[in-house]
Amino acid sequence: MRSTDLLPPEPSIGEKNMSDVKSFLLPDLGEGLTEAELINWCVAVGDTIELNQIIAEVETAKASVELPSPYAGTVTALRAEEGATIEVGTPIIDVKTDAVDTASTATTSAPAERVPVLVGYGVADEGQSRRRARPAERLATPTAKTETSAKPAAKPPVRFLAKQHGIDLTTVAPTGVHGEITRNDILKAVDSAALVQPSDDVAGIRRTDVPTAGAHETRTPIKGVRKHTAAAMVASAFTAPHVTEFMTVDVTPMLELLETLRASKHFADIRLTPLALVAKALLIALRNNPSLNSSWDEHRQEIVTKHYVNLGIAAATPRGLMVPNIKNANILGLRDLAIQLANLTQTAKDGKTGTADLSQGTITITNVGVFGVDAGTPILNPGEAAILCFGAVRKQPWEFEGGVALRSVTTLSLSFDHRLVDGEQGSRFLSDIGRLLADPLNFVALG
Amino acid sequence: MIENHDHPIQLLNAEGERVHHAMFSELVADIDDRRLQDLYEDLVVVRRVDSEATALQRQGELGLWAPLLGQEAAQVGSARALADDDFVFASYREHGVAYCKGVDPTQMLRFWRGSTHSGWNPLEYRMTTPAIIVGSQALHATGYALGMKLDGSASAVITYFGDGAVSQGDISEAFGFAASFQAPVVLFCQNNQWAISEPVSLQTQVSIAQRARGFGMPSIRVDGNDVLAVLAATRHSMTHAREGNGPMLIEAVTYRMGPHTTSDDPSRYRPAELDDEWKLKDPLDRVHKHLEREGLINDEFLARVSDRADRTAADLRRGCLETVEPAPMTLFDNVYADEHPLVSEEREQFSQYLAGFEGSAR
Amino acid sequence: MNNTTTLPLGKALNAGLRRALEDDSKVLLMGEDIGKLGGVFRITDGLQKDFGEHRVIDTPLAESGILGTAVGLAMRGYRPVCEIQFDGFIYPAFDQIVSQVAKLHYRTGGNVTMPITIRVPYGGGIGAIEHHSESPEGYFAQTAGLRVVTCSNPADAHLMIRQAIASDDPVLFFEPKRRYWEKGDVNLAAPIDSYPLHKARVMVSGTDATLLAYGPMVTTALRAAEVAADEGISLEVIDLRSLSPLDMNTIESSVRKTGRLIVTHEAPVFLGIGAEIAARVTERCFYHLEAPVLRVGGFTIPYPPAKLEEHFLPDVDRILDALDRSFAA
């Protein structure tokens, strides 16, 4: 409880009244105190006092200290009681000064709260923070202007990224504020370059370049397509939770249909393969199972379901594994689909696949059947939700019309990203494909 | 050494009676009534300056003050022995010497207020500002004196230090250098018996004056509370120096009646009886008694003295309270004599930083 | 004007001191054994004979005393040039240097100047006993109010000592004692403003990496550059010359050109001059750095006995090793 509440307000700084009432605030007396006990008053209200006249005795930690008045005048109030403990900075006495005081108004106040020490005002509290203006406009640390130099400018992490992707900084146009190459500049360069480098730059699986000496092993530098593919595999495998489901289908009727179609005039000069039918089946099945045609946008925390299908076909090329895709395959009829597939395959074989063909795929088919392999657990193409692995077609004893017969059988392996596709969805999708391939009538009904 | 340590030289005893000394009485033969009154006035004013500054500290206007209470005679007596060209290298308690050297009272307290590291221009007043590193100033004084000698000047230097300082290596080095080069410097030790809480017996096993002998230098041990004896001793030493006879050590035996500084509490380490003992030897009282006995105390004189003290105290207070506190950008002033790029760079950066706050003038 | 002759670094200093004594009657030399003996390294040889005992002063054996009296002399208008006999003996004078010499100008609001030069033979490589091979320059470079410079060759020794003495600020002048006897061309008539005291100097131009050194390490750096050139690496070698103030402009221009910086000094790496330079270069050349700034210097140990010092002192191999690490980054 402070008696200050009952007193008239302090005269404001700058007011020069002839008669001022001034308060003396308990100063820190430099003897290790934040407070002092008032032992006794040496003056009373109404007393006329002189400058430096001892007005009170206060007790510090061990000794008592006499307080001299900074004002001459008449005592109008004693603001602390004898025996009370007063904090430094508290007004203890009011004096009505008669003449123009030599005391300045601003400075004769107790200093900010400080813990006194032997040799000075004492340890101060850290001041209040002031409002910072225009933080975005505040001058940055004066970084030296990047003068045009022979060497490209880039932050260390960006240099590292470029190195990881085998990007030569001198080929990248910088877009940074300081004239430096940014992370985005590198990523753009990764998308559009790297895989279409001049041939002497790329190391494929069949090249035997730069082997180091030694009879027991051959060392091939990791770069180019293989490096990029490896990175993509790692990124995919360790980001998306892969689930693979298998379905074995009797495709005998489908093969018969294939023969019939091949013989028809619609496919006279077009190469029609089982893969085309598998692709068509997948495309039809996607209509009711859109989650298999989506992607996980971690950065924006969104699932992107595409309303178009860019169907990727995994292909072995002279330069290594590549996945060119057929844009908007969902609107293609079987004939056009077959044409595109044939073109894609041929282009890949010729090693002429373009970067546009390689980007923005939404779902992939990989055909391991050509190698005579039955099934696999394919790894998703990064950014996609599903990949269908189409195995070899074999003649096998199978159930047929209640008995056992030699039928053409193939296994479909579907890997999907379990973040995007539930087991039920994946299973339904796979079984839809299976049903289409098992009974070609379904193509007509559902296609 | 002149006089053995039990009997420091005295010309005016505690009762205010003149004491004759074969050698030294003559040195103050010119101190007639008027001059003695002037000395008394000096003592009173100096004590008042000290008490005013102490009050200002208690009122929160100074961060710290090192009171000289009790040492007025040691300071006034020695300071009044100096010629205008003589240079003073002081410690941090020589406010009495500063007053006598003509330092403007309005400037005296700015250092203790924390507004500046140096309250006045030492070259203007030929006296240094408070030196905080104990004993460092004696070497500076010795170098300055050596410079005076190289110049062929007829002036001399006096340096002040306390009993605690004599333990510092720099003091011994100063004694050594001064003696080797026969520098015209008077080494004035105010033995006020205390170095904060440590009694002089902790600093030395023999009287401080005896140290001079080890360096091949003469010394005087004088009653520091006797303004006449101090005046005589200092005159003698300064002349000795000016005439090219080299350095001399003066030990003025006095007493620090107050605390080491306003943050110190002597009751924690020294008995009140000791203070009482020394009160009886007060430097002002004895002169007052002597003047009274000589019929030189009258209302007119006391009024003159009181008026002088009041006016000086008022100047001191006003100068203190009206101190223009340094602006933040002055942080970077005078670090070097010539421009230093790093200081300039930091000054510029800090200036921009300050300007970045809302409300600051752009 | 040209008066070029070949001199060892020590003699170049001697000639520079002689010139300073001739040019300004207020210049005084003071130190232990500098008069009659001419200094333990003969740097002040013959000067007392020619200029007299009142200008070339043998002092008592007390470093603090030397600096303290120099303060007083400076206040009296003299220009003292103090010699600290060996780097390891500077510490008794440390207080006078950092508490007084460094601060008096600031303390007195510019009223008092301290045009004091403090000459310190420093560094190792001379097979000495303890305390004779220190590199204390960091303590002083970090003290505001002091200027700190160091020469690496005779021409700079001659020029920089004159400039240091002429400066109105206190200057710590570090002399690489292991190079005192190395010879070089000196133009004794070089004007005092022929090259700024606080400017670094590109000794060898290069493109692949910047190698920055000062004092005794400059010779080593130049040798490292020669070896590197044989390996097909083009090093740019810079002699820092001034530690306070630092010539960051020269360093930054070089780093922006090469993208790599190695700093080398005898003083310990920890909190050494290289650390400050690395911080500033990282701040100001961030986008140009192809590798982190590397430092090659002393270990965090007291200077070792003579038999071990070759392992302590950075040499050509340690510098090249740092270069390899820089390129591997």
Beta bridge partners of residue A54, listed in sequence order: A68
Hey, which chains touch C, using 3+ CB pairs under 8 Å? A, B
- Which of B261, B265, B306 has the most A C-beta neighbours within 10 Å, making it the best mutation to test the interface with A? B265
CB-CB under 8 Å, B262 with A131: no
Our measurement of the distance from residue C66's CA atom to the centroid of its chain's CA atoms, rounded to an integer in Å, reads: 21
Q: Residue A211 has what pLDDT?
A: 45
Closest partner residue to C283 (CB to CB) among A141, A154, A156 is A141
Catalytic residue (choose from B93, B110, B113, B256): B256
The separation between CA C2 and the C-alpha centre of its own chain, rounded to angstroms, equals 26
- Judged by a CB distance cut-off of 8 A, whether residue A13 touches chain B is no
Point out the catalytic residue in the list C54, C131, C132, C265. C132
A106, pLDDT greater than 70: no
Measured in degrees and rounded to the nearest 5, phi and psi for residue A203 equal -105, 115
Instruction: Indicate whether A132 and A270 sit together in one domain.
Output: no
What are the tens digits of pLDDT across the range A133-158? 554 444 444 444 445 556 889 988 89
B260 is catalytic: yes
- Residues in chain A whose beta carbon is closer than 8 A to a beta carbon of chain C? 141-144, 146-147, 149-151, 153-156, 159, 176, 178-180
Name A405's bridge partners: A398
Of the three residues A171, A196, A216, the one that is the final residue of a domain is A216
pLDDT of residue A132: 58
Distance between CA atoms of residues B166 and B172, nearest Å: 7
Contact at CB, A146 and C288, closer than 8 angstroms: yes
CATH code where residue A273 lies? 3.30.559.10
Is residue A203 over pLDDT 70?
no
Please enumerate in sequence order all residues whose Cβ is within 8 A of that of C107, keeping only pairs 6 or more positions apart, or say none: B117, B118, B129
- Cβ-based contacts of B265 with chain A (< 8 Å): 31, 60-63
Best of C252, C261, C287 to mutate (most A CBs within 10 Å, chain A): C287
Return the top range by mean pLDDT from A54-63, A224-233, B181-190. Answer: B181-190
Cross-chain residue pair B59–A138, CB shorter than 8 Å: no
List the C261-268 sheet strands across, edge first: C201-204, C235-239, C209-213, C261-268, C294-298
Asked if A88 and A188 sit in the same domain, the reply is no
Q: How far apart are CA B25 and CA B10, in angstroms?
A: 9
Rounded CA separation B31/B226 (Å): 14
A258-290, pLDDT tens digit by residue?
Answer: 999 999 998 888 889 999 999 999 999 999 999
Out of C76, C99, C111, the one facing B148 most closely (by C-beta) is: C76
In this complex, how many residue pairs, one in chain B and one in chain C, have their CB atoms less than 8 Å apart? 139
Q: Name the residue among C259, C284, C292 with its Cβ closest to that of A143.
A: C284
Cα(C250)–Cα(A75) distance, rounded to whole angstroms?
Answer: 69
Query: Rounded distance, CA A307 to CA C214, Å?
Result: 68
Same domain, residue pair A282 and A422: yes
Token pair 């054994």: residue: C33
Q: Do B321 and A130 touch (CB under 8 A)?
A: no
Per-residue burial over B1-12, b if 16 or more Cβ lie within 10 Å, else e, is bbbeeeebbbbb
Nearest to B105 by CA among B293, B310, B337, B343: B310
| Subunits with 3+ C-beta pairs closer than 8 A to B | A, C
Q: Can you say whether the dihedral through the CA atoms of A10, A15, A21, A23 is positive or negative?
A: positive
Indicate the pLDDT class of residue A192, thresholds 50, 70 and 90: confident
Reference C36, options C6, C64, C65, C59; nearest CA is C59
A354 and A404, same domain (yes or no): yes
Q: Which of C61, C76, C246, C284 to mutate to test the interface with B (most CBs of B within 10 A)?
A: C76
Closest-CA residue of B relative to A130 is: B357
Closest-CA residue of chain B to A32: B263
pTM for the model stands at: 0.72
What the block records as the tokens of B33 is 């009534």
What average pLDDT does this structure show over C228-243? 97
Q: Are residues A91 and A206 in the same domain?
A: no
The answer to whether residues B32 and B240 touch, using CB atoms and an 8 Å cutoff, is no
Ordered DSSP codes for C142-174: TSTT-EEEE--SHHHHHHHHHHHHH-SS-EEEE
The answer to whether residue C223 neighbours chain A at the CB level (below 8 Å) is no
- Give CA–CA dist B80/B31, Å, rounded: 11
Query: Cα–Cα distances in Å, from B186 out to B10, B75, C75, C78?
Result: 19, 14, 18, 21
Determine contact, residues A389/A375, Cβ cutoff 8 Å. yes
Domains of chain C: 4-187 (3.40.50.970), 201-328 (3.40.50.920)
Does the distance separating the beta carbons of A159 and C290 come in below 8 Å?
A: yes
CA angle (B297, B299, B302) in 5-degree steps:
70
Q: How is chain B split into domains, by residue range?
A: 25-326, 327-362
Please report which confidence band the pLDDT of residue B225 belongs to, taking 50, 70 and 90 as the band edges: very high
Compute the nearest-CA separation of A211 from chain C (Å). Answer: 21
CB pair distance less than 8 Å for C286 and A150 = no
pLDDT, residue A284, reads: 94
- CA triple B220-B226-B230, angle to 5 deg: 40
User: If 0-12 CB within 10 Å is exposed, 13-18 middle and 19+ buried, where does residue C129 land?
Assistant: exposed
Q: Give residue A172's domain range.
A: 159-216
Picking from A103-107, B209-213, C79-83, which range would have the lowest pLDDT averaged per residue?
A: A103-107
* Chain C residues touching residue A141 (CB < 8 angstroms): 283-284
What confidence score (pLDDT) does residue B126 get?
98
Residues A170 and A231 in one domain: no
Q: CB C287 to CB A147 under 8 A?
A: no
- pLDDT on residue A116: 47
d(CA A21, CA A24): 10
Helix-helix angle B33-58:B227-242, to 10 degrees: 100
Neighbours of B91 (CB within 10 A): 24
Q: What is the Cα A257 distance to its own chain's centre?
A: 50
* Cα–Cα distances in angstroms (integers) from residue C193 to residues C8, C160, C198, in the given order: 22, 10, 11
Tell me, yes or no, whether A199 and A292 share the same domain: no
Q: What is the mean pLDDT of chain B?
A: 94
Per-residue DSSP letter, A252: H
Give the β-pairing of A91-97 and A114-117. Answer: unpaired
- Is A414 found in the same domain as A323? yes
**How far does C106 lie from chain B, in Å, by closest CA?**
5
Write down the ipTM of this complex: 0.88
For residue A110, give how far its alpha carbon lies from the nearest alpha carbon of chain B (Å).
Answer: 6
Whether B336 is catalytic: no
Lowest-confidence segment of A319-323, A366-370, C103-107, C252-256 by average pLDDT = A319-323
Q: Do B263 and A118 touch (CB under 8 A)?
A: yes
pLDDT higher than 80, residue B306: yes
Q: Which residues contact A2 (CB under 8 A, 6 or more apart)?
A: A90
First to last CA, chain B: 68
C184 touches chain B (CB under 8 A): no
Q: Look-up: residue for tokens 């990203």?
A: A417
CB B170 within 8 A of CB C65: yes
What is residue A27's predicted lDDT score, i.e. its pLDDT? 85
Any long-range contacts for A436-442 (C-beta under 8 Å, 24+ apart)?
A436/A280, A436/A281, A436/A284, A436/A285, A437/A249, A437/A251, A437/A254, A437/A277, A437/A278, A437/A281, A437/A410, A437/A412, A438/A249, A438/A250, A438/A251, A438/A253, A438/A254, A439/A253, A440/A253, A440/A254, A440/A257
Distance from CA of B322 to the nearest CA of A (A): 7
What is the spatial distance between Cα A175 and Cα A184, in angstroms, rounded to a whole number? 9
Degrees, nearest 5: CA angle A35-A41-A45: 120
Pairing of strands C235-239, C201-204: antiparallel
Distant-in-sequence, close-in-space partners of C61: CB < 8 Å, separation ≥ 6: C32
Do A260 and A374 lie in one domain? The reply is: yes
- The residues pairing with A35 across neighbouring beta strands, listed in sequence order, are A87
* B236-279 pLDDT per residue, tens: 999 999 999 999 999 999 999 999 999 888 988 999 999 999 99
Percent over 90 (pLDDT), chain B: 90
CA nearest A181 in C: which residue? C287
Same domain, A212 and A289: no
Of B52, B63, B321, which has the smallest distance from its Cβ to A103's Cβ?
Answer: B321
Q: Which CATH superfamily is domain B25-326 in?
A: Thiamin diphosphate (ThDP)-binding fold, Pyr/PP domains (3.40.50.970)
Q: What's the angle, vertex CA A271, arms to CA A269 and CA A274, rounded to 5?
A: 145
Q: What is the mean pLDDT of residues A58-84?
A: 87
Tell me the pLDDT tens digit for each residue of A21-49.
999 998 877 644 677 889 999 999 999 99
Is B327 an 8 Å CB contact of chain C?
A: no
Nearest CA in chain C to B341: C245
B48, B235, B236, B260: the active-site residue: B260
* Mean pLDDT on A174-182: 88
Read off the tokens for C324: 């390899």
